[in-house]
Amino acid sequence: MTTKLGGMLAGVAFGALTATAASAEDLVIFWAEWDPANYMQELVNEYEEETGISVTVETTPWSDFQTKAFTEFNARGSAYDMIIGDSQWLGAASEGGHYVDLTDFFKEHNLGEVMAPATVKYYAEYPGNSGKYWAIPAEGDAVGWSYRKDWFEDPAEMAAFKEKYGYDLAPPATWAQMTDIAEFFHRPDEDRYGIAIYTDNSYDAMVMGVENALFSYGADLGDFETYKVEGYVNSPEAVAALENYKKLYGYTPPGWAKTFFVENNQAITEGLVAMSMNYFAFFPALLNEATNPHAANTGFFANPAGPGGDQFAALGGQGISVVKYSENQEESMKFLEWFIKDETQKRWAELGGYTASAAVLESEEFRKATPYNEAFYQTMFKVKDFWAVPEFAELLTSANQRLYPFIVGDEGTAEETLNALAADWTATFKKYGRGE
Amino acid sequence: MASDVMTKLDPKSKAAAKGFSDLTIRNLFIIPTIVFLIVFNIFPLLYSLGYSFTDFRASTNNPAKFVGLQNYRDLLSDPFIWKNFSITAKYVLISVTGQVVVGFGLAMLLNRTLPLKGLITTLLLLPMMLSMAVVGLFWKLLYDPNFGIINYFLGLGKFEWLADPDVALWAIAIVDIWMWAPFVMLLSLAGLSAVPKHLYEAAEIDRAGSLYTFFRITLPMVAPILMIAIIFRTMEAFKTFDLAYVLSSQPTTELIAIRLYKMAFQEWQTGMSSAFAYIVLIMVVAITNIYVKYLNKVKAR
SS (H, E, C) A311-364: CCEEECCEEEEEECCCCCHHHHHHHHHHHCCHHHHHHHHHHCCCCCEHHHHHCH
The reported pLDDT for the residue numbered A62 is: 85
Is residue B140 over pLDDT 70? Answer: yes
Is residue B9 over pLDDT 80? Answer: no
Q: Which of A21-25, A275-279, A285-289, B225-229 has the lowest mean pLDDT?
A: A21-25
Average pLDDT of the residues of chain A? 91
Q: Which of A74, A255, A400 sits opposite B59 (nearest CB)?
A: A74
The helix/strand/coil state of A277 is strand
Pairing of strands A273-279, A193-196: parallel
Residue type for position A45: N
The answer to whether A43 touches A54, Cβ cutoff 8 Å, is no
Is residue A19 over pLDDT 50? Answer: no
Residue of A67, A192, A431 to mutate, interface with B, max B Cβ within 10 Å:
A67
Is residue B63 over pLDDT 90? Answer: no
**Average pLDDT of the residues in B165-174:** 93
Q: Give the N- to C-terminal CA distance of chain B in Å, as an integer.
A: 36
**Hey, which residues 72-91 in chain A have their CB within 8 Å of chain B?**
73-74
Residue of A394, A400, A428 to mutate, interface with B, max B Cβ within 10 Å:
A394
DSSP string, A68-88: HHHHHHHTT--S-SEEEEEGG
Is residue B129 over pLDDT 80? Answer: yes
The reported pLDDT for the residue numbered A1 is: 41
Is residue B28 over pLDDT 70? Answer: yes
**pLDDT tens digits for range A237-260:** 999 999 999 999 999 999 898 899
Domains present along chain B, CATH in parentheses: 78-300 (1.10.3720.10)
Q: Which of B61, B162, B268 sits opposite A257 (nearest CB)?
A: B162
From residue B172, give the alpha-carbon distance in Å to each of A158, A345, B78, B155. 43, 47, 25, 20
Quote ipTM for the complex.
0.75
| Contact residues for A21 (Cβ-Cβ < 8 A; gap 6+) | none
* Shortest Cα–Cα distance, A92 to chain B (Å): 7
**Average pLDDT of the residues in B234-263:** 90
Cis check: omega of the bond before A61, within 30 degrees of 0: no
**pLDDT tier, A309 (very low <50, low <70, confident <90, very high otherwise):** very high
In 3D space, the residue among A338, A343, A192, A202 whose CA is nearest the CA of residue A274 turns out to be A192
Q: Which of A39-53, A403-417, B235-249 has the lowest mean pLDDT?
A: B235-249
The answer to whether B249 touches A202, Cβ cutoff 8 Å, is yes
The answer to whether A412 touches A336, Cβ cutoff 8 Å, is no
The stretches of A352-413 forming alpha helices (DSSP H) are 358-362, 364-367, 373-379, 392-407
The reported pLDDT for the residue numbered A228 is: 95
**pLDDT tier, B23 (very low <50, low <70, confident <90, very high otherwise):** confident
**Average pLDDT of the residues in A399-419:** 95
The reported pLDDT for the residue numbered B4 is: 53
Separation CA A142–CA A356 (nearest Å): 12
* Minimal-distance CA residue of chain B relative to A395: B267
Q: Which of B60, B80, B250 sits opposite A257 (nearest CB)?
A: B250
Question: What's the half-sphere exposure (Cβ side, CA atoms, 13 Å) at B133?
Answer: 0
**pLDDT tier, A235 (very low <50, low <70, confident <90, very high otherwise):** very high
Which chain B residues are within 8 Å of A203, Cβ to Cβ? Answer: 266
| Topology given in CATH for the domain delimited by A143-314+391-431 | D-Maltodextrin-Binding Protein; domain 2 (3.40.190)
Which chain B residues are within 8 Å of A257, Cβ to Cβ? Answer: 160, 162-164, 248-250
CB contact under 8 A, B58 and A74: yes
Helices (H) and strands (E) counted in chain A, each on its own, are 20, 11
The answer to whether A204 touches A386, Cβ cutoff 8 Å, is yes
Please check whether residue A405 touches B, CB under 8 A. Answer: yes
From residue B8, give the alpha-carbon distance in Å to each of A227, A254, B2, B144. 73, 70, 12, 63
In 3D space, the residue among A252, A169, A171, A151 whose CA is nearest the CA of residue A209 turns out to be A252
From residue B300, give the alpha-carbon distance in Å to each of B187, B193, B294. 20, 20, 10
Q: In degrees rounded to 5, what are phi and psi of residue A58? A: -95, 135
Residue of A397, A407, A424, A431 to mutate, interface with B, max B Cβ within 10 Å:
A397
* Shortest Cα–Cα distance, B235 to chain A (Å): 25
In this structure, whether the domain defined by A26-141+316-384 belongs to CATH 3.50.50.60 is answered with: no
**pLDDT tier, B48 (very low <50, low <70, confident <90, very high otherwise):** very high
The stretches of A229-319 forming alpha helices (DSSP H) are 236-249, 261-269
Which chain A residues are within 8 Å of B59, Cβ to Cβ? Answer: 70, 73-74, 92, 96, 390
**pLDDT tens digits for range B242-252:** 999 988 878 88
Is residue A18 over pLDDT 50? Answer: no
**pLDDT tier, A25 (very low <50, low <70, confident <90, very high otherwise):** low
Q: Where in chain A are all domains bearing CATH 3.40.190.10?
A: 26-141+316-384, 143-314+391-431
* Shortest Cα–Cα distance, A254 to chain B (Å): 6
**pLDDT tens digits for range A333-365:** 999 999 999 999 999 998 989 999 998 988 998
Is residue A419 over pLDDT 70? Answer: yes
Separation CA A31–CA A34 (nearest Å): 9
Is residue A14 over pLDDT 70? Answer: no
Please check whether residue A336 touches B, CB under 8 A. Answer: no
**pLDDT tier, B6 (very low <50, low <70, confident <90, very high otherwise):** low
**pLDDT tens digits for range A175-191:** 999 999 999 999 999 99
CB contact under 8 A, A394 and B267: yes
* Minimal-distance CA residue of chain B relative to A267: B146
* Shortest Cα–Cα distance, B239 to chain A (Å): 19
Average pLDDT of the residues of chain B? 90
What is the dihedral sign for C-alpha A251, A255, A259, A263?
A: negative
Which chain B residues are within 8 Å of A249, Cβ to Cβ? Answer: none
Is residue A6 over pLDDT 60? Answer: no
Instruction: Identify any residues that bridge with A98 across adjacent strands, giving them in sequence order.
Output: none
Separation CA A304–CA A213 (nearest Å): 9
The reported pLDDT for the residue numbered B7 is: 65
Please check whether residue A95 touches B, CB under 8 A. Answer: yes
In 3D space, the residue among A46, A93, A142, A25 whose CA is nearest the CA of residue A381 turns out to be A142
Is residue B272 over pLDDT 70? Answer: yes
Separation CA A423–CA A234 (nearest Å): 10
Beta-carbon count within 10 A of B225 CB:
19
Residues in chain A: 436
In 3D space, the residue among A146, A206, A211, A213 whose CA is nearest the CA of residue A175 turns out to be A213
CB contact under 8 A, A92 and B144: no
Q: Give the N- to C-terminal CA distance of chain A in Å, as an integer.
A: 79
